[in-house]
Amino acid sequence: MSAALLEVESLTVHHGQLCAIDDVSFTQRQGEVLAVVGANGAGKSTLLRTIAGLHRPTSGCVRLDGKDINDLSVSRRVALGISLVPEGRRLFSSMTLEENLQVGAYHANPGPFDIKRVYELFDWMPGRRKQSVWQLSGGEQQAVAIGRALVANPRVLLLDELSLGLAPIIIEKIYALVPEILAQGVSILIVEQDVSQGVSAADRVHCLLEGRTSMTGTPAELTSEEIDRAYFGAGLVAPAVTSGVVE
Amino acid sequence: MIWLNIVIQGALVGGFYALFACGLSLMFGVLKVINLAHGDMAVVAGYVAVFLSPRLHIPGLWSFLVVVPLFALLGYVVQRTVIQKSIDRDPFTTLLVTFGLSVVIENLLLEMYSANGQSINIGSLIGESWHPASIIYISYVSLAVLAAAVLVLLALQLFLSKSGIGRLIRAVADDQEAAQLSGANYRHVFGIAAAIAFATVALAGIAYGMMTQFAPTSGGVNLLFAFEVVVIGGIGSLWGTLVGGIALGIAQQFGAHINLSYQILAGNILFLAVLAVRPQGLFGRRSSLA
Amino acid sequence: MSTERLIEVPRARVKVRRSTHSPIFTIIGALVLVCLLTVAPWIVPAQFATTLTNFFILVIMATMWNLLAGYAGMVSIGQQAFVGLGAYATLYFAIKGLNPFVAIPFAALVCAALAVPITYLLFRLRGGYFSIATWVVSDTALLIIGTIAVLGGGTGRTMPGLQNLSPGETAHFSYLATWFVALIVVTGTYVLLRSRTGLVLASIRDNEVAARSAGVNVRAARRSIFVIAAAGCGAAGAVLAISQPFIQPSNEFNLQWAAEMLFVSMIGGLGTIEGPIIGSIIFFVLQQSLQQQGAWYLIIVGALAVVIALWQPRGLWGAFRDRFHTELLPVGHWVEPGESGP
What's at B67, amino acid-wise? V
Question: What is the phi-psi region of residue B215: left when phi exceeds 0, alpha when psi lies from -120 to 50, beta otherwise?
Answer: beta
The whole-number average pLDDT for the span C246-259 is 93
Residue B127 sits at the chain A interface (C-beta within 8 Å): no
Mean pLDDT of C239-258: 92
Chain B residue with Cα closest to C300: B104
Cα A170–chain centre separation: 17
CB-CB neighbours of C264 under 10 Å:
29
- Using the predicted structure, report yes or no on whether residue A60 has a pLDDT greater than 70: yes
Give every CB contact of residue A243 below 8 A, 6+ residues apart in sequence. none
Position B288 pLDDT exceeds 50 = no
Q: How far apart are CA A108 and CA A124, in angstroms?
A: 23
| pLDDT cut 70: percent of chain B above it | 98
- For residue B191, the distance in angstroms to the closest alpha carbon of chain C comes to 19
Residue among C164, C178, C205 at smallest CA distance from C49: C178
Q: Which amino acid is at C127?
A: G
Q: What distance in Å separates residue B100's CA from the closest CA in chain C?
A: 5
Which strand ranges, in their side-by-side order, compose the sheet holding A67-68?
A: A18-29, A4-15, A59-64, A67-68
Q: Is residue A106 part of a domain?
A: no
Please answer whether residues B212 and B197 qualify as being in contact, where contact means their C-beta atoms are separated by less than 8 angstroms.
no
Q: What is the pLDDT of residues C22-41, one digit of tens each?
A: 667 778 888 888 888 888 88
The chain A residue lying nearest C1, using CA atoms, is A214
Cα–Cα distance, B146 to B152 (Å, whole number) = 10
Alpha helices in chain B (DSSP H): 2-31, 38-55, 64-78, 84-89, 91-113, 140-162, 164-174, 176-181, 186-211, 218-233, 238-258, 263-277
- Residue B122 CB: number of other CB atoms within 10 A? 17
Supply the CATH number for residue B96's domain. 1.10.3470
Q: In this predicted model, what pLDDT tens digit does every residue of C322-338 receive, in sequence order?
A: 887 766 777 766 666 55
Q: Is B63 helix (H, G, I), strand (E, B) or coil?
A: coil
- Tell if the CB–CB gap between C255 and B91 is shorter than 8 Å: no
Helix (H, G, I), strand (E, B) or coil at B265: helix
A43-47, B174-178, C182-186, C322-326: which range is least confident on average?
A: C322-326
Q: Does A127 map to a domain?
A: no
User: Higher pLDDT residue, A36 or A40?
Assistant: A36
pLDDT at B9: 92
Q: How many domains, chain B?
A: 1
Average pLDDT over residues B212-238: 89
A77 burial type by CB count under 10 A (0-12 exposed, 13-18 middle, 19+ buried): buried
pLDDT of C21 over the 70 cut: no
Residues of C with CB under 8 A from a CB of B: 69, 73, 75, 77, 121, 124-129, 131-133, 135-137, 139-140, 143-144, 146-147, 154, 255, 259, 262-263, 266, 294-296, 298-299, 302-303, 305-306, 309-310, 313
Higher pLDDT, A1 or C1: A1
Residue A134 lies in a domain: no
Question: Quick one: pLDDT at residue C153?
Answer: 87
Structural domain boundaries in chain C: 46-254
- CATH of residue A189: 3.40.50.300
Interchain contact B181–A (C-beta under 8 A): yes
* Domain span at A181: 4-86+154-236
**How close A65 comes to chain C (CA, Å)?**
30
Burial class for B268, CB neighbours closer than 10 Å (0-12, 13-18, 19+): buried
Q: What is the mean pLDDT of chain C?
A: 86
Range of the domain at B163: 2-289
How many other C-beta atoms can be found within 10 angstroms of the C-beta atom of residue B261?
14
Beta strand A33-38 pairing with A59-64: unpaired
pLDDT in tens, C225-247: 999 999 999 999 999 999 988 99
Binding-site residues on chain B for chain C (CB distance < 8 A): 28, 32-34, 36, 82, 85-86, 89, 91-97, 99-101, 103-104, 107-108, 110-111, 220, 223-224, 227-228, 231, 235, 261-262, 264-265, 268-269, 271-272, 275-276, 279, 289-290
Nearest chain B CA: its distance from A211 CA (Å):
23
Tell me whether strands B129-133 and C246-247 are parallel, antiparallel or unpaired.
unpaired
A228-232, B79-83, B247-251: lowest mean pLDDT where?
A: A228-232
Q: Is residue A10 part of a domain?
A: yes
Partners for C (CB, 8 Å, 3+ pairs)?
A: A, B
- Contact criterion met (CB < 8 Å) for A90 and B175: yes
Q: Are strands A33-38 and A18-29 parallel, antiparallel or unpaired?
A: unpaired
In which element (H, E) is residue B130 found? strand B129-133
Among chain A residues, the shortest Cα distance to C7 is held by: A247
Residue B31 confidence (pLDDT) above 80: yes
Mutate to test the interface with C, among B80, B86, B104, B272 (most CBs of C within 10 A): B104
Q: Which residues of A42-72 are buried (b: 16+ CB within 10 A; e: fewer)?
A: bbbbbbbbbbbbbbebeebebbbeeeebeeb
Q: What would the mean pLDDT of A12-34 be, rounded to a whole number? A: 91
Evaluate if residue B80 carries a pLDDT over 90.
yes
pLDDT value for B136: 84
Alpha-carbon span C63 to B150, nearest angstrom: 46
Indicate yes or no: CB of A52 within 8 angstroms of CB of B181: yes
A27 inside domain: yes
Top-confidence residue, C128 or B33: B33
**Residue C83: count of CB within 10 angstroms of its CB:** 32
* Band (A241; pLDDT cuts 50, 70, 90): very low
Would you say C121 and B276 are in contact if contact means Cβ atoms under 8 Å apart? yes
Can you tell me the mean pLDDT for B4-23?
93
Measured in angstroms, the CA of C96 and the nearest CA of chain B are apart by 27
Average pLDDT of the residues in C204-229: 88
Contact between C91 and C240 under an 8 Å Cβ cutoff? The reply is no
Of the candidates A75, A157, A152, A52, which has an alpha carbon nearest to the alpha carbon of residue A109?
Answer: A152
The pLDDT of residue C336: 62
pLDDT at C56: 95
Average pLDDT over residues B48-66: 91
**A115: number of CA atoms within 13 Å, CB side?**
14
pLDDT of residue A38: 86
Name which residue leads in pLDDT, B57 or A241. B57
Nearest to B167 among A52, A99, A149 (CB): A99
pLDDT confidence of residue C16:
65
The whole-number average pLDDT for the span C284-313 is 90
Contact B279 C124 (CB under 8 A): yes
What is the length of chain A? Answer: 247
Residue C297 has pLDDT above 70, yes or no: yes
- Whether C5 shows a pLDDT value over 70: the answer reads no
Measured from the Cβ of residue C269, the count of other Cβ atoms closer than 10 Å reads 28
Question: What is the 8-class DSSP label of residue B116?
Answer: -
Sequence-separated (6 or more) residues with CB below 8 Å from residue A43: A13, A20, A21, A22, A24, A208, A210, A211
Number of domains present in the structure of chain A: 1
Residue A31 lies in a domain: yes
Closest C-alpha to B201, from B29, B35, B33, B31: B35
The whole-angstrom separation of Cα C324 and Cα C159 is 47
**Mean pLDDT, range C265-275, rounded to an integer:** 91
Tens digits of residue pLDDT in B122-165: 887 777 888 887 788 888 999 999 999 999 999 999 999 999 99
Residue A29 sits at the vertex; the CA angle it makes with A28 and A33, to the nearest 5 degrees, is 70
Rounded distance, CA C311 to CA B85, Å?
Answer: 9
Comparing B277 with A59, the larger pLDDT belongs to: A59
| Residue C209 confidence class, pLDDT cut points 50, 70, 90 | confident
Test C262 with B86 for CB contact under 8 angstroms.
no
Q: Are B202 and B43 in contact (CB under 8 A)?
A: no
